[in-house]
Structure 1
Amino acid sequence: MKRGPERGGRLVADIGGTNTRIALYQLTDDRLRAIKRYRNCDFNGLEAVLSHWLDEHPEARPRDACIAVAAPPEGDCAHMSNCNWSFRGSELAARFNWDRVGLINDFQANAFALPWLQPGDWYEIHPGTARYARMATLGPGTGLGGAVLDTGSEPHRAIACEPGHMALAPQGLQELELWRVLMHEHSRIYSELLLSGPGLQRLYQALATVDGVVAEPLCGEEISARALAGSDALCAATLRRFCSLLGTASADFILASGAFGGLYLAGGILPSFPGFLQDSEFHQRFTDRGPMQGHLQRMPVRVITHPQPGLLGAAHAPLG
Structure 2
Amino acid sequence: MTVAPASAALQPSAASVTPLAAHASPRLLADIGGTNARFALELGAGRVNHIEVLACSAYPTLGDAMRAYLALPDVAAAGAVRHAAIAIANPVMGDMVRMTNHHWEFSIEALRRECGFDTFVVVNDFEALAMALPWLLDADKVQVGGGAPVTGAPIGLLGAGTGLGVSGLVPAPDGKSWTALRSEGGHVTFSPANETELAILQYAWREFEHVSAERLLSGAGVELIYRALADHRKLAAGPLDAPEISRRALAGECALCEEVVEAFCGMLGTVAGNLAVTLGAQGGVYIGGGIVPRLGERFARSCFRRRFEQKGRFAGYLAAVPTYVITAEYPAFLGVSAILAERLGA
- 2:76 and 2:200 map into 1 onto residues whose CA distance is 54
- 1:193 and 1:81 map into 2 onto residues whose CA distance is 13
Give the Å deviation of 1:154: 4.5
**Structure 1: which amino acid aligns with 2:61?**
G
- 2:286 and 2:23 map into 1 onto residues whose CA distance is 38
**Structure 2: which amino acid aligns with 1:68?**
A
Give the Å deviation of 1:292: 2.1
Aligned: 1:66 with 2:85:
yes
Give the Å deviation of 1:218: 0.5
CA RMSD of aligned residues (A): 1.8
For residue 125 of structure 1, what is the aligned residue in structure 2? 144
**Structure 2: which amino acid aligns with 1:135?**
I
- 1:156 and 1:77 map into 2 onto residues whose CA distance is 27
Task: Tell me which stretches of 4 or more aligned residues in structure 1 moved more than 3 Å.
Answer: 151-155
- 2:252 and 2:228 map into 1 onto residues whose CA distance is 20
- 1:155 and 1:97 map into 2 onto residues whose CA distance is 32
Instruction: Give ranges in structure 2 of 5+ residues lacking alignment.
Output: 1-21
**Structure 1: which amino acid aligns with 2:81?**
P
- SS of 2:317 mapped into structure 1: helix
Aligned: 1:104 with 2:123:
yes
Q: Answer yes or no: is the 8 Å Cα contact 1:66–1:319 preserved in 2.
A: no
Change (3 A) 1:154 1:181: same
- 1:46 and 1:87 map into 2 onto residues whose CA distance is 8
Give the Å deviation of 1:205: 0.5
**Structure 2: which amino acid aligns with 1:319?**
R
For residue 289 of structure 1, what is the aligned residue in structure 2? 311
For residue 280 of structure 2, what is the aligned residue in structure 1? 258
Give the Å deviation of 1:155: 4.2
**Structure 2: which amino acid aligns with 1:143?**
G
Give the Å deviation of 1:127: 4.6
Among all aligned residue pairs of Structure 1 and Structure 2, give the percentage whose two residues are the same amino acid: 36
Change (3 A) 1:191 1:18: same
- 1:62 and 1:311 map into 2 onto residues whose CA distance is 16
- 1:241 and 1:298 map into 2 onto residues whose CA distance is 24
Give the Å deviation of 1:200: 0.3
- 2:262 and 2:105 map into 1 onto residues whose CA distance is 36
For residue 18 of structure 2, what is the aligned residue in structure 1? none
- SS of 1:161 mapped into structure 2: coil
The TM-score with structure 1 as length reference comes to 0.93
For residue 159 of structure 2, what is the aligned residue in structure 1? 139
Aligned: 1:148 with 2:168:
yes
Aligned: 1:226 with 2:242:
no
- 1:6 and 1:149 map into 2 onto residues whose CA distance is 28
- 1:94 and 1:178 map into 2 onto residues whose CA distance is 47
Instruction: Give ranges in structure 1 of 5+ residues lacking alignment.
Output: none
The TM-score with structure 2 as length reference comes to 0.86
- 1:1-320 equivalences in 2 (<5 Å): 7-28=24-45, 30-56=46-72, 57-60=75-78, 61-131=80-150, 132-152=152-172, 153-317=175-339, 318-319=342-343
Q: Answer yes or no: is the 8 Å Cα contact 1:19–1:39 preserved in 2.
A: yes
**Structure 2: which amino acid aligns with 1:105?**
N
Q: Answer yes or no: is the 8 Å Cα contact 2:158–2:164 preserved in 1.
A: yes
Task: Tell me how many residue pairs correspond in the alignment.
Answer: 315
**Structure 2: which amino acid aligns with 1:37?**
V
